[in-house]
Structure 1
């Protein structure tokens, strides 16, 4: 089984002193406008980060109205070639780059791209708002979505009655909603919720996270997954347990920070940073804004977990955007 990223996220945030709160760290600096910033800024990559990138761009335009921002969010797999070929300044990804993607970038530029963790996301399992289910184990989630059941659940799960629902729910089949293979969320869910196994052929693949949530909203039997920032009133993000019979944890900032919620992950934005050169002024100021109070307030407002100043200051230092 592939090691989940939740341990990495938890260790990192605890090491830098995260206090398990959804509020923005008051130690984050205020952003101050710089002079002489203009140009075209392109972002190509993750659908999960599409809302965040759009909100950040709107904040950035308040400081720099002469910057023209273009954002494309077809999926994380579109980010590495875009930043490698120079068609994007920023490459948002809901997963870390694969080694092969890094090697392709290195072959072109002679150094690796820089991975900026910009927020902590909880990958939520959504059901229709009228569905009474309260919790599922990852092993049950695997048996619902996968054809391989590498999590070890003893039987395929095809009806809601098999996970404890009674009455009219007992014989209801599942309507499975999933992202498509170009998505980093798809890959993360496959690795961590399906234990590296394969999806069932009956899943309804969707081009975006909002489409997954919409599908579950419109289907009483629906179940799907996407980032917590896409939660709406038509769905419920259910609690999950890491082990069969284990304690259930809601997808909250506190449970992400402690590592109790089993599907927590970093969201990344990759940049092309030469190790011996500074970022261009526009990229530098955008990065500086991301790791300021206003940048992390956007993270909080969009439903994700903001980063602590101790981690933000490390990124600013490494990128020389102090």
Structure 2
């Protein structure tokens, strides 16, 4: 029978999904044990580099500097697999009259540099056409968050975030949205699927005058919603090498129909058959 230890590290949100997969895999192979620590995507990659886990899960692609660290220390980049589809939502207080926003406007709210070219910094809700003239309060996930890294790359084109004090940063989307629920002038971003009746997600448009789309499953699957992303698994093994049997079987389970059904338990979205096929083609077993 399959046996051994799976040690996982990485994203808090994606870690919820990985824990479900580990639990279900244990039911199939009772002699397979697991241990996990989920403190952020970048922490997971760092742990993997230092040889602590055999699996890292991330809510954003590995950064170039992290790949360079792997190549410098180990001579190769880690194996990367897409394991789930998801999206980031933009959250405001339910009483806010704003219904949609563009990527350029988001950049002008959150970034120092406005690389998307908005003509001025957006500081107040009036700048967005909302009647109230209160300043915009920004709240973010902490710096270990893969969501924060994804937003910086996708929306801000790798620009720098505006400087915020420590009290404006939180560990989870649930904590962020709870804060937004109590502050009418606030804005944040985080995982989709938050159930808080005092906040709402904005529709997002690629550009001004372009159609805006809500972060619905249909819009995410069809690629219409601009802030769609993947969750990733990383292994401390070169893609040219074979996976140990335990990692190979666990990964095959994740990409199976049963494994992909678990994605919906955390408001993720299963991969399409073509993507599953491309990820399976990366797997090579030692046996």
- TM-score, normalisation: structure 2: 0.88
- 3-state secondary structure, aligned to 1:44: strand
Deviation at 1:308, TM superposition (A): 1.6
> Counterpart of 1:133?
98
Residue 19 (structure 2) pairs with residue 54 (structure 1): yes
Deviation at 1:94, TM superposition (A): 1.7
Asked whether the 8 Å contact 1:46–1:76 carries over to 2, the reply is: yes
Asked whether the 8 Å contact 1:41–1:69 carries over to 2, the reply is: yes
Deviation at 1:126, TM superposition (A): 0.9
Residue 204 (structure 2) pairs with residue 240 (structure 1): yes
Match of 1:285 among 228, 236, 249: 249
Deviation at 1:232, TM superposition (A): 4.2
Aligned pairs (5 A) from 1:95-134: 95-134=60-99
For CA contacts below 8 A with separation 6 or more, give which structure has more relative contact order.
Answer: 1
For 1:289 and 1:276, the matched residues in 2 are separated by 21
Deviation at 1:178, TM superposition (A): 0.7
Match of 1:250 among 202, 205, 214: 214
Match of 1:314 among 278, 281, 286: 278
Asked whether the 8 Å contact 1:48–1:185 carries over to 2, the reply is: no
Asked whether the 8 Å contact 2:152–2:158 carries over to 1, the reply is: yes
Deviation at 1:230, TM superposition (A): 4.5
Deviation at 1:104, TM superposition (A): 2.5
Distance change in 2, residues 1:135/1:285 (3 Å): same
RMSD: 2.3
- 3-state secondary structure, aligned to 2:159: coil
> Counterpart of 1:171?
133
Aligned pairs (5 A) from 1:262-281: 262-274=226-238, 278-281=242-245
> Counterpart of 1:72?
37
Spell out, residue by residue over 1:47-74, the C-alpha distance to the aligned partner (whole angstroms, 9 max, x if none). Answer: 2312211222222232233433222221
- Unmatched runs of 5 consecutive residues or more in structure 2: none
> Counterpart of 1:261?
225
Deviates further, 80-89 or 237-246:
80-89
Residue 162 (structure 2) pairs with residue 200 (structure 1): yes
Deviation at 1:182, TM superposition (A): 2.2
> Counterpart of 1:185?
147
Match of 1:224 among 150, 175, 188: 188
Asked whether the 8 Å contact 1:231–1:237 carries over to 2, the reply is: no
Distance change in 2, residues 1:274/1:160 (3 Å): closer
For 1:256 and 1:136, the matched residues in 2 are separated by 17
Deviation at 1:248, TM superposition (A): 0.6
- 3-state secondary structure, aligned to 1:95: coil
For 1:293 and 1:233, the matched residues in 2 are separated by 33
Distance change in 2, residues 1:101/1:199 (3 Å): closer
Spell out, residue by residue over 1:26-55, the C-alpha distance to the aligned partner (whole angstroms, 9 max, x if none). Answer: xxxxxxxxxx22332211112231221122
- TM-score, normalisation: structure 1: 0.80
Deviation at 1:165, TM superposition (A): 2.3
Distance change in 2, residues 1:258/1:105 (3 Å): same
Spell out, residue by residue over 1:154-183, the C-alpha distance to the aligned partner (whole angstroms, 9 max, x if none). Answer: 2322222322223xxx12332211122222
Deviation at 1:296, TM superposition (A): 0.8
Distance change in 2, residues 1:84/1:176 (3 Å): same
